[in-house]
Amino acid sequence: MAYESILLDVDDTLLNFKAGQRQAVDKLFRDQGLELTPEMRNLYEAKNHQLWSDLEKGLVSREFVLAERFTYIFKEYGLVKDGAAMDQIFRKYLAAETIFMEGAKAAVKELAQSHDLYVVTNGVAVTQHSRLANAGLTHYFKGIYISEEVGYQKPNRQFFDYLFEHSPEIDPNKTLIVGDSLTADIQGGLNAGINTCWYNPEGLLNSTSVTPTFEINNLNQLKEFV
């Protein structure tokens, strides 16, 4: 067995965050009596991506990200809304969304029989815990590490230092991190000195300088080399 411990991202690795977010945002806007047009959705998703990227780089706070994305999009409608309050409504809907990535549940169930599994995810703790529980995944993991609770975001080395300190049974030399984000998961693994696996279901071109140890397009491929 090449690895003893596998660190798994959640959003768009185990659970389809993009699809869940779309549904949750749709419900939020319907609550507000508004139609979310394709153009406005694209604006929201672009702003949301930019803000989370800024958070990974340490340029803004998590609280700013969660509120500003909604403050921004409602302004585009000519409305003044409390972004933080809108985020709370959105999170209620998001927590109930448990759409799996293809093969994810079967892969977790199989890997848990032979490896120690850990969640490593950026995000809001209550939302991520709810999504994992609602998806029936929590009991497969020996530890769940969420940036809000850790105090650091992936790809910061401090996130992984916290993980290794609180799960001392993990041997970094026998650990693999799996995730869809080159900038958060793969760069994070490189910062931590562990092997990495880029989950790339859409077959995207890697135009960055971040080089993963492995690349897969379906999670069932993990069993071939772990």
Q: Which helix (H) or strand (E) holds 131?
A: helix 125-134
Contact 197, 177 (CB under 8 A): yes
Q: For residue 48, which of 151, 40, 182, 120 has the smallest C-alpha distance?
A: 40
| Peptide bond just before 155 cis, omega within 30 deg | yes
Q: Residue 127: how many CB atoms within 10 A of its CB?
A: 19
Dump pLDDT digits (tens) for 35-84: 889 998 999 999 999 998 898 888 999 899 989 999 999 998 898 999 99
Dump pLDDT digits (tens) for 6-45: 999 999 999 999 999 999 999 999 999 988 899 989 999 9
List Cβ neighbours of 192 (8 Å cut-off, separation of 6 or more).
157, 160, 161, 164, 172, 177
Residues carrying CATH 1.10.150.240, the chain: 17-96
- The CATH H-level (homologous superfamily) assignment of domain 5-16+100-224 is HAD superfamily/HAD-like (3.40.50.1000)
- The CATH H-level (homologous superfamily) assignment of domain 17-96 is Putative phosphatase; domain 2 (1.10.150.240)
What Rg, from alpha-carbon coordinates, does the chain have? 18
Please state which of the ranges 71-80, 117-126, 177-186 shows the lowest mean pLDDT.
71-80
Residues carrying CATH 3.40.50.1000, the chain: 5-16+100-224
Question: Backbone phi, then psi, for 120, in 5-degree steps?
Answer: -130, 110
- For the chain, give the mean pLDDT: 95
Task: Give, in degrees to the nearest 5, the angle at Cα 51 between 203 and 65.
Answer: 130
Contact 114, 142 (CB under 8 A): no
Contact 15, 121 (CB under 8 A): no
Contact 190, 210 (CB under 8 A): yes
Contact 167, 118 (CB under 8 A): yes
Residues annotated as catalytic (active site), given as ranges? 9
Tokens 């409390």 correspond to 82
Q: What do you get for the CA distance between the two ends of the chain, in Å?
A: 6
